[in-house]
Structure 1
């Protein structure tokens, strides 16, 4: 065997080792035995979920950055609904050029110092309804507001609806989540962690309905898009592990945890990336976006494509995790 062949063989062995090591980590982090589903004291309401989704998607104009009036109308809808349940609701306004954009925030358990951020973006990419991306996430926040009212909490919970997550502002300092995360850091606010609710309504039980950033992942997760994913990075911090454990234990919907390096495609494709930038423990709750939902950023991303039954169970899982966190 010549030197070039030795090098090639060595590279293959290294890649095989890395792949097997990665699968081993996933198995370790994802193992969970059979258990009964926990009953929520305040379950998510599928009729209200549908009502919110209709209000967010059936609009005169698309809720993208070019249609500022429409974005403001949606922000006001979120604000009004937050106001029904929270004693503390506010708008975080900021400038991009000559325009003013808004994050909408409401809080629960304000007697607690340490806080948890649950966020979702309400803007869309281009001229489309964005039912899954991300009317589902915002609807999750709206239902959580109703469910959290009057609950005894061990942390302050801030529900934050962000603007400008989508292109052309993605990965820029104009993202609403960047503005919010920076505010927390600049003001030395005690944050336990953050979860981004990013596309939680698309499920498929058919074979080959699920893709992956690495083909090897199908060996463990299978090829059906029938689960919700808790995505986090290696060394993600105490909050993401604690929250994930509670979510899995609640057993509301089939769940997979995905722990990977940040460079793996899709791992940081939402608002949690900005909390990572400021050193916070953060994660994403997702149906895996374009790895499953081929309507991603397309006009076909409509309410008719969503699985509202499983979506409401995802919201129940988030709620149960929040009220049980110690």
Structure 2
């Protein structure tokens, strides 16, 4: 996940005042109409915490760093993902593309291939700089691997494509070289029926300590609380049928405390992951996140390690995804 800092030094303006006022209003409305806590649904399959730890360790211990400067490490990661996907999926493939004379790979695992309409569940496997990137974003990539295991043989209402992207991080963030841009564009070019997309972006860091959760505006803690003990569905206004259905179904799964943050697309931070590229092609898309740098102070640092993650709650996030993918209609 990439934090954009280009506006940090600009003076306060009426636009910022409008944005912050809007944030307070959105939070207030969310608070007023916040749905009651749902009891946890009993699932026929559960996330395996032992496998989660195995994948997290494998992804973060690949020699060197899985960034754009270490192509061999990105290839090793892609091969690891493909090999594991092949145990479970109907179809597994690389999506190869060239950037600056080098070949990069998205990894795609498909389920329910008999269906025309599909749902994309994506997470990036590259990191920013020289760090292990356990939360950002080995956590999201691990979710794809566990979902593959859990979806094997399941009766689905849609085709599910699990897509592991490369080149989400700098220097390619917000460019047409992002793996997710390449993928989203390919869907549009082929006129493929896409119901929607969810970006799984940093889902492993939680805290019950007071003041462990920050916000773009401090007053939001009045409505959402000051503890980083929830997962967040981030979507824009007029997000589309898929985003709204996903949000409702995920909450009904009752697997983990869930908050929804809905804001205008132009609000800084709402598009800090791969879902932004699906918005560009008018697909209904959202982000599932632990809120990144608003909570996890290991963001883009060497301290973003597996030991800092809350594995039990991360597993519950994945359980919610599994339930939602099976029950969306």
Q: State the TM-score bracket (shorter-chain normalisation).
A: over 0.9
Q: Of 4, 23, 27, which residue of structure 1 is paired with 2:27?
A: 23
Superposition map of 1:97-108 within 5 A: 97-108=100-111
Indicate the residue corresponding to 1:198 in structure 2.
201
Q: Taking structure 2 as the reference length, what is the TM-score of the superposition?
A: 0.93
CA drift of 1:36 comes to: 1.4
Deviations 1:242-299 (A, max 9, x none): 0111110001011101101122232100000000000000000000000000000000
SS in 2 for 1:258: strand
Gaps of 5+ in 2: 1-13
RMSD of the alignment, in Å?
A: 1.8
Deviations 1:189-224 (A, max 9, x none): 000000000000000100000001122211100110
Q: Is 1:300 matched up with 2:303? A: yes
Q: Taking structure 1 as the reference length, what is the TM-score of the superposition?
A: 0.94
Measure the CA separation in 1 of the matches of 2:323 and 2:205: 21
Indicate the residue corresponding to 1:175 in structure 2.
178
CA drift of 1:160 comes to: 0.1
More helix by share: 1
CA drift of 1:34 comes to: 3.1
SS in 2 for 1:318: helix
Measure the CA separation in 2 of the matches of 1:95 and 1:71: 14
Gaps of 5+ in 1: 1-9
Measure the CA separation in 1 of the matches of 2:308 and 2:170: 23
Q: Is 1:148 matched up with 2:155? A: no
Superposition map of 1:164-313 within 5 A: 164-313=167-316
Q: Of 33, 36, 39, which residue of structure 2 is paired with 1:33?
A: 36
Inter-CA distance 206–87: structure 2 relative to 1 (3 Å threshold): same
Inter-CA distance 20–207: structure 2 relative to 1 (3 Å threshold): closer
Measure the CA separation in 2 of the matches of 1:89 and 1:214: 43
Computing the radius of gyration from Cα coordinates, the structure with the larger value is 1
Q: Is the 1:213–1:264 contact (alpha carbons within 8 Å) kept by the matching residues of 2?
A: no
Query: Aligned pair count?
Result: 316
Indicate the residue corresponding to 1:88 in structure 2.
91
CA drift of 1:324 comes to: 0.3
Q: Is the 2:233–2:289 contact (alpha carbons within 8 Å) kept by the matching residues of 1?
A: yes
CA drift of 1:310 comes to: 0.1
Measure the CA separation in 2 of the matches of 1:15 and 1:175: 28
Measure the CA separation in 2 of the matches of 1:266 and 1:310: 24
